[in-house]
Amino acid sequence: TVLGGINNARHSRTDCTRPAPPLGAMEGQDASPILYVNGKRHVMPEGKAEQTLLAYLRGLGLSGTKLGCGEGGCGACTVMVSNYDRAKGEVQHRAVNACLTPLYACEGTHVITVEGLGTKRGGLHPVQRALAHAHGSQCGFCTPGFVMSMYALLRSKKTKPTELEIEEALGGNLCRCTGYRPILEGFKTFARNAPDSAYSGETINGSANGVANGDGHGSHLNGDAHLNGKSSTTPICPSTGQPCTNGCGNTPAAKALGAAEDDPVTAVREPIFPPELKRRVLTPLALPGAIATWHRPTTLAGLLALKKAHPDARLVCGNTEVGVEVKFKNMKYPVIVAPTHVPELTEVTVNEDSLVLGASVTLTTLLNTCETLTARLGPVRTSGLVAIKEQLRWFAGPQVRNVSSVGGNVCTASPISDLNPLWIACGATFEIESLDRGARRVAAKDFFKGYRSTDLKPDEVLTAIALPLTEKGEYVREFKQSHRREDDIAIVTAGMRAKFDVVDNVPTVADIAFGFGGMSFKTVSCPKTSAALVGKPWTDETLKLALATLPEDLPMSPDVPGGMCEFRRSLANSFVFKFYVDCCRRLEADGLVTDAVVAAGLNDADLSAADRFHRPFPSGAQYTQVRDGSTVGQPTMHQSAEVQVTGEAEYADDIAKPVGMLHAALVLSTVPHGKILDIDPAAALATPGVHGFFSAKDVPNNVIGPAVLDEEVFASEYVTCVGHPVGIVVADTQDIALEASRLVRVKYEELPAILNIDEAIAADSYHTWPGFTDHGIEDGDVDAAMAECEAAGRIVEGDARCGGQEHFYLEPMVSLVWCGDNDDLITISSTQAPQKHQKLISSALKIPCNRVVCKTKRLGGGFGGKETRAAFLNVCAAIPAFHMRKPISLVLDRHIDMAITGQRHAFLGKYKVGYSPEGKILALDMMLYNNAGNSLDLSAAIMDRAIFHSDGAYKIPNVRVNGRCCKTNLPSNTAFRGFGGPQGVIFAEMWMDRVARKLGQPAEKIRHVNLYEEGETCHFGQKMESSQLRACWDEAVAKADIDSRRAAADAFNVVNKHRKRGIAATPVKFGISFTALFMNQAGALVHCYLDGTVLVTHGGVEMGQGLHTKVAQICAAELGIETDSVYIAETSTDKVPNASPTAASASSDLYGAAVTDACRQINERLAPVKAQLGPEKSKDFKEVCTAAYFARIDLSAHGWYTTPDLVWQWDGSKGRPFNYFCFGAAVSEVEIDTLSGDVNLLRTDIVMDCGDSINPALDVGQVEGGFVQGMGWVALEELKYGDPDHKWIRPGTLFTAGPGTYKIPTANDIPLEFNVTLLHNAPNPRAVASSKAVGEPPFLLANSVFFAIKDAVCAARAGNGLDTDITMDSPATPERVRMACGGPISDVFYDSTNAPAYRAKLTC
């Protein structure tokens, strides 16, 4: 039987697709390689085998497709590629990553980008509209990718998708802003249980009712839309462009794609598959080029001949491996062969005893095949297929699976492969063929010879994989543990198979096989363990034998590459135990052995160890107040949402490039500390297309710095970190510039490097700048209070660590600079602080500030990372722009951006805490250290805020906190959402949790006892005024029903030995203002025009937080007009000078108040005009403005605001550093797998104090997005540098540079139930419109997740008889969770019974 996955002889389908013409020359066929893009025919350029689809599309001006990472890990570049499947006689649609897809791989296909769906002017596509109206777009950089992933799912499905299919379709897309919930909610309207009109003709053609922007009654997603009349015209099939004559347009699937029965025009509105491509005959391709030649054979003989002629040729299907090697490892492959169109390699065949997969079969096809066969053949025959299917669910994202081939995955021979262990365990064989020697077969277990090396000879090709089907009593199981569950490479992966003979109700191992990845330099089997178990009964003694023998098969040294030695070895043994339990359960369930579980020495509490992870679709609720009678308080959609969902929103790298623009690439240090002996750019300058190299000698003033002057534009004598800029190369293209930058030869004398906080403390290496550093606060009599507590034995002390965090804004750093005719510079960049750019460029070039104009329209995320570290990059670009008088573009690749621009500071806190018998905290003595890196940057101010927030939300009568900024040879760390507050607060929660455990009380009880009361004073002297802290806490714990759920969690833990639940509640008190008092100022310009519209320019930057939308609402409310009448112009230093950075959560307060001031000036001028016009005419703002104009009244005003009453000096006195506090509380519940460390976030309830919200929809988005980003910091994201704890990484080098190694949360990581309440009836008298800031405070609510995890870990430790008063560092990664749980399996590798709880190594 040939299965329908690829080639099915029995496949038949009645639809409107027509059989293709027979193979052979199609009369008049153009021999040129072609593709269609959004319906337009393009002849492919010659000699571009190395070019990606993304580069080609952006070259066409289709900038909606974004470059986010370049390695297929973020989904910002997602497009849909459609091709005609001749064997099936139908068009196939798939989402792909354009950043990896080779241009030539798209020959003969139709590429749809986000621009091909809809536009703001012409009307939004329903997918675009759903996302915009659900508030699912904040910064918008990732938005087109989400739109295209969803669109491709709908086009590829024969029926409406399920909610889980929607979530899985988005698995390859990352968002750093929204927290994913609104994206899922928006797209849920297309699920099976949603109204049919969600994706119907009415919504697609909403503009047919005369509503161009899709906002009229024809655009609603609730079924209210309608079209007048009916038509009997034959509908058009959206996939083929042909008339549909046999009813397919009336099927549910077609209706889901828009072919409504009463709207035959609907399908025309969908991008149709070009009929030419359906008729076009497939031919071999040979496309030569200067860098590489592209071959596409169409026969197996042709493929083998090519491999013989070019033994070193790389075979490429999805380019997911080769593309990364070329871009990031600078590999050169002059001959590329695409075997994707060889029929023998795309077949899927089912024989009586095996499944045979052609090597070019995609992983998506393999997944679908496994699902189909499992349903058709039943569980007995398909245990291996089920395991493969389950493993593929967590393998990369759909965009990667859609193009990656089975054979490519095998031949990559990755030591952490997900599938290769299963091929080994299942006994698969690989069919190999060469032109001269013919075919041969190799067992999977014998195929992998070394690190990324196989048994393939240079002229051989892997043609097929034969996978045996299972028999009765034969079980296969897959295992994988990674940092993140979805779309992540494995830490350890495994496949296991056991076949049993059952005699007298006793199962005996007839055959058993293991395959492991992540345990060696290659995928390995475990022959000793297998041999030891064959013939043994499936009993506890056999399990013990397996666990004792496995380490002999899987030896591992402590300094193994990848680290985590104890964890990886524990995982391997834990997986074996899980398999043991699974087999027992299945033997009993299949009726082969009665009471198999009990006979194996297990009980019901053990059974959950074998459960597979299955996650339902997330749900939740948002509770807000909407104000009546004003534009302020309305849940207005983000003003840029519609251009973001259509891809029309322009970011810094999207704008039309100036004529003559050149591209730049930095030359970066490769050592962490060294003296520069020589810089030789000769080879770079000799490269064709290179125009120049610039270094320190070309900078008029080479010394810069955002706070103190301790940095250089380009290193002149010493480099102090890996990634320290040494110079910059300028060339015709970015590729040439990057290649040339690698040719600049720099010789160093390497010097000793300090790489972490411990080394800095030991070397007394600190940044010391009087007035900036070494601050502290003391309040009360700490020594006396501590002595009293110590005498009573009520002390906790220790140290705590929290790692750094990468900003991972989706838009990388971009700078575009050009020089005018009078030595004036204009720059467009992705920055939160245009004024800093202006100041530093002016200083470096020694030109006045009035000659430098810095502009920013919008950012694709910032989070503090684009405040100061973007500035030095802009200065680097300004140097060649000034000298050459040419426009210069500097765009960082993701891995360079991450490696050189710094992150959130890692912190070490050493604390001593005294408390009363009731748990009241009486004294805190704490010393804080942060890893500042090689320059001070903002580290001192970040430390100051950590000191301010070291009390958490708790009143402590006696406090002493000091801080020091450690000087290390890492790239300078910088601002990140919370700005030191999160580190100070998490340390407070760490010692608070320990106090609760010492007292044997629930932590939430002790936290509640210590919460600030109204009127109490903080350790720095500020009084709690209008405090909503307890209101937030009380409502959060009540909504979460924490008492009954804690009891339920305790009950769950009793009956589940290997899964434990934990719950925690944590509060937030966060001060709002810049702690540098002079920065609390803002200006704005408001212009009223004669048509009644208003233009506002202010100093704040829109980076997704909705600042411009809120400012427009405030302006509209003040002037009495609609929000749509207000437009916010780009941020520019020639409009509003000396603006503070958009940071500290204060921008809505500052710029909203400045705009209010300007509007009130205008209103005062307009008052006499309105009085003269009368009440009725005054309602028309256009008429008011016209009358004022003729009365020669100024319709423009400059508004100004300074935050009042701020008083603070670091001189030991008390004061008021903050305008007010934001408050909040969160309750989270998790479930952990104590054997693997996997964490599942079950539910989170948040109550956030936003005052009277200016825009509840935007504020909820900030709460959710901040929380999920914070969850990443405390539970998922981990930076790893080469340091004394990570010797397997090159010293000072960032290992986790890119989405392949650094994991931010996906949609699969958010709470299963996510409830957010904005506290009602809580106006704030100290900010504009009685509102409160919302950007940073919600980040800290994620502490509830960390302490829920710790609560579950302590439940596991208690079950294992271990101490629960432990120190657990952040983030709570699977390694920390698993090893902290302890237990007999991990005790083999780390004896938790005779030592403190395991503390994993942390870059700190």
| Catalytic center residues | 1336
Residues 172/196, Cβ–Cβ less than 8 Å: no
Q: Which residue has the tokens 């041969």?
A: 440
Query: CA geometry: angle at 56 spanning 55 and 61, to 5°?
Result: 95
d(CA 426, CA 513): 7
Residues 1261/182, Cβ–Cβ less than 8 Å: yes
Q: Which two tokens stand for residue 7?
A: 């080639």
Write out the DSSP string of 261-298.
Answer: TT-TTHHHHSPPPPHHHHHPPP--EEE--SS-EEEE-S
d(CA 256, CA 826): 49
Q: DSSP letter at 1321?
A: S
Neighbours of 439 (CB within 10 A): 11
Residues 642/124, Cβ–Cβ less than 8 Å: yes
The type of residue at 863 is F
Q: DSSP letter at 1196?
A: E
Task: Estimate to the nearest angstrom the gap between the alpha carbon of 395 and the chain centroid.
Answer: 16
Give the side-chain half-sphere CA count within 13 A for 748: 21
d(CA 1270, CA 805): 10
d(CA 426, CA 1357): 36
Q: Which two tokens stand for residue 922?
A: 């009486």
Tell me how far CA of residue 783 lies from CA of 456, 911, 994, 1321, in angstroms. Answer: 72, 13, 21, 42
d(CA 751, CA 1292): 12
d(CA 517, CA 494): 6
Residues 926/842, Cβ–Cβ less than 8 Å: no
Q: Which helix (H) or strand (E) holds 1386?
A: helix 1384-1387
Which distant-in-sequence residues (6+ apart) come within 8 Å of 763 by Cβ?
754
Which distant-in-sequence residues (6+ apart) come within 8 Å of 1384 by Cβ?
1360
d(CA 1071, CA 1145): 10
Q: Which of 995, 1028, 1062, 901 is nearest to 1332 (CA)?
A: 1028
Four-CA torsion 936, 942, 947, 953, nearest 10 degrees: -170
Residues 564/491, Cβ–Cβ less than 8 Å: yes
d(CA 761, CA 425): 50
* β-pair partners for 1023: 1017
Give the side-chain half-sphere CA count within 13 A for 280: 23
Residues 1318/624, Cβ–Cβ less than 8 Å: yes
d(CA 1166, CA 1197): 12
586-605 burial, b for 16+ CB within 10 Å, e for fewer? bbbeeebbeebbebbebeee
Give one word for 1079, left, alpha or beta, with left for phi > 0 and alpha for psi -120 to 50: alpha
Residues 124/51, Cβ–Cβ less than 8 Å: no
Q: Which of 246, 396, 423, 272 is nearest to 324 (CA)?
A: 396
Largest Cα–Cα distance in the chain? 106
